[in-house]
């Protein structure tokens, strides 16, 4: 009797579609969650952009439109009377010149000092380098108002009160800018620096031909932050100057408010817009460099 061979053929299993992670309730909740997120984002944007919108529209409004209730969100006509009144109420031409000089010179000196100091802490060997850097970091914990009196006494003894030297030189040292530059320079491979030394490059040549080109993002970040800081500086120029000839724009706004009072808000907002517009434009154009530069070298010790 011959054996009967029974062959069983298994049908290939048809691939089943993966199960969805959620049922109809989950799919219905997803658009609702997205809607809530957009509502929250729009609300947060309104909190920050609302005052700016009101500022840049109020400068073209008449006093009646500014105080109207319910508010008039847009001016009926684009009038430059508020700008003219603000410009004539205070010597803004001199304020602009002083702010431009102090910002340009102060930024150049502060960034140069930060670059040279950071390079020294990264690539030079000298005694007590780490303790000195810890002392430098400790200076970041000291509020700036603590050194106002010593700085003023030093400037007064040198005869620099009401001068550009008194306005600029006490703020040349920036611990924060030095810290940012050092943290980025630590990420530069040492082999590149050693190769430059083998080729006979000195420290300055290495700095300008290798380190700074590789540090362009953080250098732009430090530059922008320093420009904004110098432009908006208020306390020190208020202390070290005693005449309108040497005042800067933030102090000019205070003078404008004292002169116009709390009634003529159109003039005050026009002066504020003139001070705010340059820095706002710089920030909008360079915000991606600020974010990218601040994140570079953040975890390097």
* Structure confidence by residue, pLDDT tens digits, 119-170: 999 998 888 888 998 998 888 888 888 888 999 999 999 999 999 999 999 9
> pTM higher than 0.75 for the full model?
yes
Residue 113 CA to residue 132 CA, distance in Å, equals 16
Residue 226: HSE in the Cβ half-sphere, 13 Å Cα cutoff = 31
Burial of 105 (0-12, 13-18, 19+ CB in 10 A): middle
Q: Mean pLDDT throughout 81-109?
A: 90
The answer as to CATH 1.10.3720.10 being correct for domain 82-295 is: yes
pLDDT digits (tens, 9 = 90+) for 220-248: 889 988 998 999 999 999 999 988 889 99
Q: Is the pLDDT of residue 100 over 70?
A: yes
Query: How many CA atoms lie within 13 Å of 179's alpha carbon, on the beta-carbon side?
Result: 18
Amino acid 293: pLDDT: 57
pLDDT winner (highest mean) among 21-30, 86-95, 241-250: 241-250
Residues 6+ apart with CB under 8 A from 259: 89, 90
Per-position DSSP letters for 50-88, written without gaps between them = HHHHHHHHHTTS-HHHHT-SS--SS-SS---HHHHHHHH
Q: What count of other Cβ atoms lies within 10 Å of the Cβ of residue 284?
A: 8
Average pLDDT value over all residues in the chain = 82
pLDDT for the residue 198: 87
- What is the residue-wise DSSP string for 128-153? THHHHHHHHHHHHTS-GGGGHHHHHH
Domain positions in the chain are: 82-295
Is the pLDDT confidence value at 46 over 90?
no
Q: How confident is the model at residue 9 (pLDDT cuts 50, 70, 90)?
A: very low
pLDDT of amino acid 6: 44
pLDDT at residue 34 greater than cutoff 90:
no
CB burial readout 47-69, b (16+ within 10 A) else e: eeeeeeeeeebbbbbbeebbeee
């Amino acid at each position: 009797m011959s054996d009967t061979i029974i062959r069983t053929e298994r049908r290939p299993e048809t691939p089943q579609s993966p199960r969805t992670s959620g049922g109809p309730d989950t799919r219905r909740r997803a658009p609702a969650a997205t809607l809530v997120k957009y509502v929250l984002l729009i609300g947060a944007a309104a909190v920050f952009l609302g005052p700016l919108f009101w500022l840049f529209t109020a400068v073209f409004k008449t006093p009646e439109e500014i105080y109207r209730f319910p508010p008039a969100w847009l001016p009926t006509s684009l009038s430059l009377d508020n700008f003219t009144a603000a410009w004539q109420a205070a010597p803004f031409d001199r304020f602009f010149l002083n702010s431009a000089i102090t910002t340009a010179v102060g930024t150049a000196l502060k960034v140069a000092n930060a670059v040279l100091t950071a390079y020294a802490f990264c690539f030079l060997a000298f005694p007590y380098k780490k303790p000195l850097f810890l002392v430098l970091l400790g200076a970041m914990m000291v509020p700036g108002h603590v050194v106002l009196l010593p700085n003023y006494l030093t400037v007064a003894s040198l005869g620099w009160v009401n001068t550009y030297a008194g306005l600029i030189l006490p703020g040349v040292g920036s611990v924060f800018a030095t810290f940012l530059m050092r943290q980025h320079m630590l990420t530069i491979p040492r082999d590149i620096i050693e190769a430059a030394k083998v080729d006979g490059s000195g420290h300055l040549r290495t700095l300008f031909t290798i380190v700074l080109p590789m540090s362009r993002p953080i250098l732009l970040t430090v530059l922008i932050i320093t420009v904004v800081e110098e432009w908006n500086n208020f306390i020190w120029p208020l202390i070290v100057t005693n005449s309108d000839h040497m005042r800067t724009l933030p102090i000019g706004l205070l003078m404008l408010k004292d002169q116009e009072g709390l009634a003529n808000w159109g003039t005050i907002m026009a002066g504020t817009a003139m001070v705010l517009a340059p820095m706002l434009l710089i920030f909008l154009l360079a915000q991606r460099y600020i974010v990218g530069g601040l994140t570079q070298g953040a975890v390097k010790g």
